[in-house]
Structure 1
Amino acid sequence: MGRLKYLWLALALWGTVHPMYWFLSWFRANGFDLAGMVEAWHANAATSGLVWDLTVAAVTLTLWILVDAVGRRDWLSLLAIPTIFGIGVSCGLPLYLYFRARFAGAAAASTG
Structure 2
Amino acid sequence: MRIVWLALAIWGAVHPMSWFIAWFREHGFDLMGMVDAWHTNAATSGLVWDLTIAAVALTVWIVWECATRRAWLGLIAIPATFCIGVSCGLPLYLFLRSGRVARDGM
Structure 2 residue 86 is matched with structure 1 residue 73: no
Structure 2 residue identity aligned to 1:37 = M
The gaps in structure 2 that reach 5 residues or longer are none
Structure 2 residue identity aligned to 1:8 = W
* Distance in 1 of aligned mates of 2:10 and 2:67: 25
- Residue of structure 1 in register with 2:20 after alignment: 23
Q: How far off is 1:41 after superposition?
A: 0.2
* Distance in 2 of aligned mates of 1:33 and 1:66: 30
- Residue of structure 2 in register with 1:95 after alignment: 92
The gaps in structure 1 that reach 5 residues or longer are none
Q: How does 1:13-52 map to 2 (within 5 A)?
A: 13-52=10-49
Aligned-pair RMSD on alpha carbons? 1.0
* Distance in 2 of aligned mates of 1:100 and 1:32: 34
- TM-score, length-normalised on structure 2? 0.97
- TM-score, length-normalised on structure 1? 0.92
Structure 2 residue identity aligned to 1:35 = M
**Which one has a bigger Cα radius of gyration?**
1
Q: How far off is 1:70 after superposition?
A: 1.0
Say how many residue pairs are matched: 106
